[in-house]
């Protein structure tokens, strides 16, 4: 008795250590967020966006270049002379006007960066959603794992009884084989479930960029999604979400992108300054320096209508982008409403499925009693167990689907942070 107590205490101690080291889902989300902020494409997207902004302002600054030229000149007439010279040149150019290209480029770049940042935020939310659904799939598989173990234990006991009854001539060979098949099917189910768990853990490890095992995940936490967040909104309200902001900012890039191309039809004004200094210009002239300042105005007059046609093409492309953008917004809102409809549909199916599970549980409990009383055969008992297992599996999948649609809705609503913070 004392030995058994020691074994139980050791088991509880090991379980407590394992549980204390296991990650809750919110901790896994935090790990994923930190990864996305540092070693990820989002991290580098942010750096690229900042540099693009800096580059868009570069036209306001002058272009400065310096060169140095060293030459040796040898002249032969009645006598030979050799001159070595060193020339320093400095050139400064500044664009004063380029048809509004710079201003339009800044507007386009800023809005494109805002759009890219919003899209990255949306993608991060999708990764978190993937992690959450993986977590709930893991919970479902864990329950199915236990069901399969219970089934194996149940059929093992029934098989022992069946072998005794078969030896006594009270059970047919077919019924005995049916019990063996049921036990083996349950074992195969357990193999499949464990394989799914292993594969799911590989996907979660890949998502988190860390090796994590099934034992390191704590599965007793529930992410609550209040019904108050599952409310249908107008399209204008959805535009405040991460994907909605992406669509809004992208629309603001189309017009300046088109206007930039008008610079080829407008005059440009450039200011230039050049300075040259040579330490020995010739055999008779020593140091020589020169400087000049220039204002250049370039006016396009005619080039066979090519630039005009190119600008018209850009205008038509702009109109196409506006139409495509309207379709993107409509698809966004349509997808939102589809998720909303699917959520309500799944909610109704869950209520029905819960009744089915209870009904199948009662049928199975009754089947076990009837089988012992020789009122039903082995196949009916096995069928009742299979129906119960399938109904539980269907209920679990419906709950996961409900989470999927609910998360989609609150991401579109822009309220996803309320369930993970």
HEC letters along 349-396: HHHHHHHHHHHHHHHHHHHHHHHHCCCCCHHHHHHHHHHHHHHHHHHH
Express each pLDDT in 158-167 by its tens digit.
Answer: 999 989 989 9
Q: Tell me: the pLDDT tens digits for 326-351?
A: 999 999 999 999 999 999 999 999 99
Q: Model pTM greater than 0.95?
A: no
Structural domain for 364, as ranges: 2-60+106-264+305-420
How far apart (Å, rounded) are the C-alpha atoms in residues 262 and 318?
A: 13
State the pLDDT at residue 386.
94
Is 168 inside any structural domain? Answer: yes
CB 86 within 8 A of CB 69: yes
Looking at residue 7, its pLDDT comes to 44
The answer to the question of residue 293 being in a domain is no
Specify if 122 maps to a domain: yes
Contact 240, 121 (CB under 8 A): no
DSSP string for 302-320: -STTHHHHHHHHHHHHHHH
Alpha carbons 115 and 328: distance in angstroms, whole number: 14
Instruction: Using the structure block, give the residue that is written with the tokens 């539980």.
Output: 392
| 3-class state of residue 270 by DSSP | strand
Residue 91 lies in a domain: no
**What average pLDDT does the segment 113-121 reach?**
96
Q: How far apart are CA 165 and CA 286, in angstroms?
A: 123
| pLDDT the model gives residue 19 | 47
Q: Which residues of 336-361 are buried (b: 16+ CB within 10 A; e: fewer)?
A: beebbebbeebeebbeebeebbeebe
CA–CA gap between residue 403 and residue 397 (Å, rounded): 10
Residue in the block written with tokens 């768990």: 197
Nearest-10 Cα torsion for 210, 216, 220, 225 = 0
Do 97 and 60 contact (CB within 8 A), yes or no?
Answer: no
> Distance between CA atoms of 370 and 381, rounded to whole angstroms?
9
Using an 8 Å Cβ cutoff, are 56 and 105 in contact? Answer: yes
> Of 357, 416, 418, 421, whose CA–CA distance to 129 is shortest?
416
DSSP secondary structure string for all residues of 32-91: HHHHHHSSSHHHHHHHHHHHHHHHHTGGGSPEEEEEEEEEEEEEESSSEEEEEEEEEEEE
Residue 299 in domain: no
Res 80 pLDDT > 80: no
> Is residue 93 in a domain?
no
Return the CATH number at 223. Answer: 1.20.1600.10
For the cut 60, the answer to whether the pLDDT of residue 175 exceeds it is: yes
User: Is residue 291 situated within a structural domain?
Assistant: no
Residue 18: predicted pLDDT: 46
**φ, ψ dihedrals at 191, nearest 5°:** -60, -45
Give SS3 for 173.
helix
Q: Is the pLDDT of residue 263 over 50?
A: yes
Rg over CA atoms, the chain: 38
Task: Rounding to the nearest 10 degrees, give the CA dihedral for residues 14, 16, 22, 26.
Answer: 170
Alpha-carbon distance 295 to 270, whole Å?
6
pLDDT > 90: what percent of the chain? 76
Distance CA 321, CA 336 (A): 22
164, β-bridge pairs: none
8 A C-beta contact, residue 191 and residue 122: no
pLDDT at position 280, please? 65
Q: Phi/psi class of residue 299: alpha, beta or left (left: φ > 0; alpha: ψ in -120 to 50)?
A: beta
Tens-place pLDDT, residues 195-254: 999 999 999 999 999 999 999 999 999 999 998 999 889 999 999 999 999 999 999 999
- CA distance linking residue 352 with residue 45, whole number of Å: 47
Query: What mean pLDDT value characterizes the chain?
Result: 90
Residue 260 CA to residue 303 CA, distance in Å, equals: 19
In a domain, 95, yes or no: no
Tell me the per-residue pLDDT of 270-316, one tens digit each, with 9 for 90 and over. 999 999 988 765 555 567 889 999 999 999 988 888 889 999 999 99
Arithmetic mean of pLDDT, 396-410:
96
Structure tokens at 326: 């309207």
Give the pLDDT score at 13: 43
Q: What is the pLDDT of residues 5-64, one digit of tens each?
A: 444 444 444 444 444 578 999 999 999 999 998 878 999 999 999 999 999 998 889 999
Q: Above 60 in pLDDT, residue 258?
A: yes
Overall number of domains in the chain? 1
């Amino acid at each position: 008795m004392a030995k058994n107590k020691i074994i139980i205490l050791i088991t509880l101690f090991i379980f407590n250590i394992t549980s204390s080291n296991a990650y809750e889902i919110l901790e896994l989300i935090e790990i994923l967020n930190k990864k996305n902020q540092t070693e990820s494409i989002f991290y580098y997207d942010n750096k690229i966006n900042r540099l693009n902004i800096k580059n868009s302002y570069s036209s306001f600054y002058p272009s400065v270049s310096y060169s140095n030229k060293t030459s040796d000149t040898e002249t032969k007439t009645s006598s030979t002379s050799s001159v070595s010279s060193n020339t320093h040149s400095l050139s400064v150019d500044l664009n004063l006007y380029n048809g509004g290209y710079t201003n339009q480029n800044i507007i386009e770049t800023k809005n494109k960066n805002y759009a890219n940042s919003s899209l990255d935020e949306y993608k991060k939310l999708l990764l978190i959603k993937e992690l959450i659904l993986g977590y709930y799939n893991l919970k479902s598989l864990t329950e199915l794992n236990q069901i399969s173990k219970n089934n194996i234990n149940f059929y093992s006991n029934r098989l022992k009884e069946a072998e005794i009854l078969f030896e006594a001539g009270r059970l047919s060979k077919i019924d005995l084989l049916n019990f063996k098949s049921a036990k083996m099917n349950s074992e195969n189910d357990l193999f499949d479930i464990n394989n799914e768990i292993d594969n799911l853990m590989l996907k979660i490890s890949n998502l988190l960029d860390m090796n994590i095992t099934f034992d390191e995940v704590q599965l007793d936490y529930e992410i609550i999604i209040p019904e108050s967040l599952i409310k249908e909104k107008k399209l204008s309200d959805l535009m405040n979400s991460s994907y909605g902001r992406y669509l809004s900012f992208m629309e603001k890039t189309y017009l300046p992108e088109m206007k930039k191309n008008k610079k080829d039809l407008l005059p440009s004004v450039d200011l230039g300054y050049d300075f040259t200094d040579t330490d020995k210009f010739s055999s008779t002239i020593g140091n020589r320096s020169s400087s000049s300042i220039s204002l250049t105005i370039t006016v396009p007059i005619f080039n066979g209508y090519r630039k005009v046609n190119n600008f018209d093409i850009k205008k038509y492309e702009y109109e196409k982008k506006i139409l495509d953008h309207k379709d993107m917004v409509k698809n966004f809102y349509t997808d939102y409403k589809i998720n909303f409809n699917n959520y309500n549909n799944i909610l109704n199916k869950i209520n029905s499925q819960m009744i089915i599970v209870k009904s199948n549980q009662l049928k199975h409990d009754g089947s076990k009693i009837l089988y012992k009383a020789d009122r039903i055969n082995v196949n009916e008992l096995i069928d009742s167990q299979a129906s119960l297992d399938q109904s539980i599996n269907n209920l679990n999948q419906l709950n996961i689907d409900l989470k999927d649609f609910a998360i989609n809705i609150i991401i579109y609503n822009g309220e996803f942070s309320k369930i993970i913070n």
